[in-house]
Amino acid sequence: MTDRLLVRFALIYLAILLVSFASAGILVEGQVRQEMTEQITEDLLNEGRVITNLSVPDIQKNLSSLQVGSRSRVTVIDPAGIVIGDSSGSFMKFDNHLNRPEIQASRLRGQGVSIRYSSTLKVDMLYVALPLRNTDQKIIAYIRLARPLIEVEKAAQTFRRSLLLSILPVLGLSILLAFVFVAKIILPVRKMAAFTAKISSGHRRGPLRIDSQDEIGRLARNINQMVAVLEEKIAQEAEEKGILNAAFESMVEGLIVLDDRNRIERVNRALVEMTGYPAETLVNKTPLETFRNAALHQALDRFNQTHEPLLVEIILDQEKVRMMEVSISAIRDLPHAVQKTILVFHDVTKLKQLEKTRVDFVANVSHEIKTPLTNIIGFVETLGEGKVSDQETRRRFLATIRENALRLNRLVNDLLTLSNIELGEAKLHLEDVDPTDVLESVLSMMSGVLKEKNLHIGRSITEHLPSIQGDRDRLSQILINILDNAVKYTPEGGTITIEASRMAQEVVIRISDTGIGIPKSEIPKLGERFYRVDKARSRQLGGTGLGLSIVKHLMKAHGGRMIIDSNPGKGTTVSLYFPV
């Protein structure tokens, strides 16, 4: 590297010398050319002034002698620009010279000078022209003298040769001095390069010693100071790194650090104990390759898209059902803008079990269970006290008790169903199911209710619909709950329309009615447990408020979705989307 630097300095110095000599040579040569040209111009003008003292006929007769005396070609031109005499011989073939620059200049200013390149002689030609006037100062002819500037070119060539011969020894001596001068600079640079190489390899012994008071000496002292500061910072960082490593390994939460390729770079002891995998088998693998967990993989994909911290719950061990709360966030303020991600695993299995207990408890003591019980108890106490003697009133009380008991039974069944679905205890028996068969089966079961309420059924079912993966009983439950709501809220004589078709990679089943409809503001709340748009009417019709919630969770369990569209007084449409 230093040898290349030496050559580079020498070449730069040589280039500066060459440019300087060349510039000086060009300037001096230009000055020589200018001075010689001005001298020749003055000589020709003086010769021309002498010739203008002669008459035109005398000039025409003595052109040859005038050419010899002036050492130039002499041309006589009339006021119209026609050549009437030339010392070179025949002049009949010459074109009009009136527009020549030297003629025009002499006509306007009394003398004209012009330099043009002669393609015949391959050299610049100098032309001077003077007007010849009569006693009335009227121009009667022009005298033009022309001389090739051969002596100017020869003088320039002689100058260039002399300059080159004088430059060569000076240039050689300059190059020698340049190498000596640059070598003195390069020697300390070599020492600094060797010193920094030892530092980078970790073999530094003592400071850099360069005894110089110039800029190179100051640079050496700055390097020594910088190295001392760096060594101090490295020691501090090593100490901090040791503390961080100890904290990393002693944390009770499992930790995973991912590199910029989303591969596991490091894990702590707690994670090894959680998973049972040795640390060396986890490093350089992706979380998907290690845990085979789709939820964790999807969460990482979302994080990589948004780069916002997120929290996700996963089941790390399907057999032991170990619930993990995983926090995903970026490790910030890293040097060199390196992108790294940290995953914190917190075991929340016990917390989830407590939450399950709480959900079950709330489900058992909800107001929806207490209301029918209160009615039953009230009527039973009234009958037990013997306050009702009329048989018709007793039968009506008993019918009310039975109706509330049935409603309570439906409510308990729905609560159990919903609780099992939410807790993942409702196992789905998935198989290829023909949606047309399920629709026909459900319509057959509900035909009696439809006839009783005099409701018209419209069908638009596409033939040869593709099969869907699902639990036949649960699919029937979904359709029954939707149809049951349509029947309840559609007045007698109304119409219920069932459509089934394929859209892209989904089978869509739409159930529309001409019932009372639902306000737009209430639609987002549908599917919540016990939510009713019209609570009094719903209870009167025997609804538990859990039907749509069960449908919502069953659709999610099947990988599908439910969309409700409705307008008050115009009916409701429920669209069920099942993946093919």
Which residue has better confidence, 215 or 518? 518
Model confidence band, residue 508 (pLDDT cutoffs 50, 70, 90)? very high
pLDDT of residue 131: 92
With a CB cutoff of 8 Å and minimum separation 6, the contacts of 409 are: none
Which of 347, 372, 403 marks a domain boundary? 347
Model confidence band, residue 538 (pLDDT cutoffs 50, 70, 90)? very low
Q: Could you tell me if 25 and 120 lie in one domain?
A: yes
| Three-state SS annotation for 316-377 | EECCCCEEEEEEEEEECCCHHHCCEEEEEEEECHHHHHHHHHHHHHHHHCCHHHHHHHHHHH
Residue 500 inside a domain? The answer is yes
Instruction: State which H helix or E strand residue 254 sits in.
Output: strand 254-258
Which of 422, 456, 473 marks a domain boundary? 422
DSSP secondary-structure letter at 12? H
Q: Could you tell me if 330 and 383 lie in one domain?
A: no
pLDDT of residue 555: 85
How far is the C-alpha of 368 from the C-alpha of 535, rounded, in Å? 11
Residue 188 inside a domain? The answer is no
Strands 340-347 vs 322-331: parallel, antiparallel or unpaired: antiparallel
Residue 196 inside a domain? The answer is no
Largest CA distance in the chain: 172
Which of 422, 451, 474 marks a domain boundary? 422
Report the pLDDT averaged over residues 225-252: 77
* Domains: count for the chain: 5
Which residue has better confidence, 117 or 216? 117
Name residue, tokens 């590199």: 259
Q: Could you tell me if 149 and 6 lie in one domain?
A: yes
Burial class (CB in 10 A: 0-12, 13-18, 19+), 479: buried
Residue 461 inside a domain? The answer is yes
pLDDT of residue 577: 92
Closest CA to 528 of 475, 575, 564, 498: 564
Model confidence band, residue 536 (pLDDT cutoffs 50, 70, 90)? very low
Q: Could you tell me if 221 and 85 lie in one domain?
A: no
Closest CA to 347 of 270, 249, 422: 270
CB 298 within 8 A of CB 291: no
Query: In whole numbers, what is the pLDDT of the chain averaged over residues?
Result: 79
Q: Could you tell me if 398 and 502 lie in one domain?
A: no
Tell me how crowded residue 566 is: count the other CB atoms within 10 A of its CB.
Answer: 23
- 265 residue type, one letter: E
Asked if pLDDT for residue 224 goes beyond 60, the answer is yes
Residue 290 inside a domain? The answer is yes
First to last CA, the chain: 68
DSSP secondary-structure letter at 28? H
- Joined together, the tokens standing for residue 499 give 């459509």
CATH no. for residue 43? 3.30.450.20
- Taking only the tens place, the pLDDT of each residue in 293-346 is 888 888 888 888 888 888 888 887 656 667 888 888 888 766 666 788 888 888
Report the pLDDT averaged over residues 416-445: 79
DSSP secondary-structure letter at 558? T
Model confidence band, residue 511 (pLDDT cutoffs 50, 70, 90)? very high
Crossing angle for the helix pair 367-384 and 391-422, to the nearest 10 degrees: 160
Q: Could you tell me if 441 and 496 lie in one domain?
A: yes
Report the pLDDT averaged over residues 229-256: 78
pLDDT of residue 96: 85
pLDDT of residue 326: 87
Residue 537 inside a domain? The answer is yes
Q: Can you say how many angstroms the Cα of residue 487 is from the centroid of all Cα atoms in its chain?
A: 54
How far is the C-alpha of 474 from the C-alpha of 441, rounded, in Å? 13
pLDDT > 70: percent of the chain: 82
- 386 residue type, one letter: G
Q: Could you tell me if 329 and 375 lie in one domain?
A: no
Residue 173 inside a domain? The answer is no
pLDDT of residue 509: 92
Q: Could you tell me if 218 and 284 lie in one domain?
A: no
Name residue, tokens 């997120």: 310
DSSP secondary-structure letter at 465? P
CATH no. for residue 397? 1.10.287.130
- Taking only the tens place, the pLDDT of each residue in 346-377 is 888 888 777 775 665 465 456 556 666 777 78
Q: Which residues pair with 574 in a beta bridge?
A: 511, 564
- 132 residue type, one letter: L
- Taking only the tens place, the pLDDT of each residue in 82-131 is 888 888 776 667 788 888 898 888 888 889 889 888 776 778 888 999 99
Asked if pLDDT for residue 54 goes beyond 80, the answer is yes
Residue ranges making up the domain that contains 560: 431-579
Report the pLDDT averaged over residues 54-69: 84
- Taking only the tens place, the pLDDT of each residue in 376-390 is 787 787 777 777 777
Q: Could you tell me if 515 and 465 lie in one domain?
A: yes
How far is the C-alpha of 249 from the C-alpha of 224, rounded, in Å? 37
Q: Could you tell me if 282 and 237 lie in one domain?
A: no
pLDDT of residue 537: 46
Asked if pLDDT for residue 524 goes beyond 50, the answer is yes
Burial class (CB in 10 A: 0-12, 13-18, 19+), 10: middle
pLDDT > 90: percent of the chain: 4
Q: Could you tell me if 84 and 6 lie in one domain?
A: yes
How far is the C-alpha of 541 from the C-alpha of 538, rounded, in Å? 5
Residue 186 inside a domain? The answer is no
- Taking only the tens place, the pLDDT of each residue in 433-485 is 898 998 888 888 888 888 888 888 888 888 888 999 888 888 888 888 888 88
Q: Which residues of 19-43 are buried (b: 16+ CB within 10 A; e: fewer)?
A: eebeeebeeebeeebeebbeebbeb
Q: Could you tell me if 211 and 140 lie in one domain?
A: no
Asked if pLDDT for residue 416 goes beyond 60, the answer is yes
Instruction: Residue count of the chain, please give it.
Output: 580
